[in-house]
Amino acid sequence: MSLIAVVFLFFAHVSAEPMRFDGHKVLQILPHSVEELEHVLQLHDVLDLDMWRYPSKNNFSMEMYVEPEKIDHVLTAIKAIGADVRIWIDDLQKLIDEEKQPAKRSFHLPFASQGKNAGFDHLAYHRFSTIKQYLADVVTATQAMSTVTSSLSTIGYSSESNEIQVLKVSRSDGQSRPSIFIDGGIHAREWISPATVLYFINQLVYGDEFDYAPQLLDKFDWYFAPVLNPDGYEYSHTTYRLWRKNRVPNGRNCFGTDLNRNFGYQWNPSVGGSTNVCSDVYSGATAFSEKESTALETFLLNNNQNMVAYLTYHSYGQMWLYPWGYTSALPSDWQDLDAAAKIGTSALSELYGTQYTVGSSTNVLYSAAGGSDDWAKGGAGVKYSYTIELRDTGAHGFVLPQNQIEPNCRESWRGLAAFALSLNTRKG
């Protein structure tokens, strides 16, 4: 056997199991001044650290993932800067193991296990192939329904030739209604996002415990794209749990573009992005350089004539954010966006008391140009455009255990329904 073959077999064996994160930590860092904040951010760039939660204008606190071999140096450097620091998550692998534990079933589940999709568990995280089958099964199931119809479209293909799919759900009366577009999975590691979008589909098609579905179907046509980044999502399951970007090869043995820095409205890598191809927030060589972002662009521009809302689901932080992300300035109709979001978050909090923060992306979270919600509003003209950051506020971060899927999804469904039913869809 040749040396090349031996090396290939070695790496094939190594990559057969996902990377482990024993002893990997997440730090919570609190700079006391803008100067300290800048020094910490410089440290982040120099050491190529993974920022889990960025600081905002009003709260410099941040959460940062650090590998074991870097931890002593990072802690020493941060203390020398003068910022407060503590270990927020001590062993990331323990959270990943906890994430895999099956969720306990509750009495709320009848609506999540009806009809043709009885075999699909909405309280678990699923691989991409299983999600594709679920979407196809929904279409098959609605063919036998008299009041609901659905259709599945492939709007493009990823760099690894995986389908980017959109499911349309509507009344079966042939009438066209104002539409709402919802996507998930732009960032690969945010598994709760696709799970939430799939839950929405199930509630809308099969009926829900709050009886919102009939009203929502009477008022809107619905478009769902549960996994906009299929390559990255699958890679986060098979190889590297914390993968964020897509998987396009960039040279220098670096892969991936941050799709949520790649949309073309006020695209600017210097605002919350990067021109470094190895960075987790690499913005791409140009706006819409990626197949995934281009697929969404084309679909929205072809279907935005009567589209009233665009919602992209992410994690984490419990925030309901509206444009702009590229600047602290607000859109002229920000009060409309703010009021509708607060209706959603108020309804959401009624179930478990979960608190969401409402505001513009830059003023609540951080500045980042090239986001899909900025483009949906500024580029595609969709008035009510939002990024929604789901549970939690940092205790688990991106590794949300399966036992939180149900409460997260139930409250999110209530929030979405109340938000949508509050919208004034009249023209003029």
Start-to-end CA span in the chain (Å): 73
Burial 67-82 (b: 16+ CB within 10 A, else e): beebeeebbebbeebe
For residue 148, the cross-strand partners are: 171
Calpha distance 180→384 (Å, rounded):
9
350 within 8 A of 274, measured Cβ to Cβ: no
Candidates 376, 361, 372; CA nearest to 329 is: 361
Count Cβ neighbours within 10 Å for each residue of 281-309 and write b for 16 or more, e otherwise: bbbbeebbebbbbbbbbebbeebbeebbb
| Residues 193/198/200/206 CA torsion (nearest 10 deg) | -170
User: Nearest Cα to 397, choosing from 166, 156, 65?
Assistant: 65
Candidates 99, 389, 406, 411; catalytic one: 389
| Residue 389 annotated among the catalytic residues of the structure | yes
Is residue 252 within 8 Å of 240, Cβ to Cβ?
no
DSSP string, 88-126: EES-HHHHHHHHTSPPPP-TTGGGGS-GGGTT--TTS--
What distance in Å separates the CA atoms of residue 173 and residue 65, rounded to the nearest whole number?
A: 51
Q: What is the DSSP string of 221-287?
A: EEEEES-S-HHHHHHHHHT-TT--S---EEETTEE---GGG--SSS--TTTT-BS-TTSTTB--SST
Please list the active-site residues.
Answer: 389
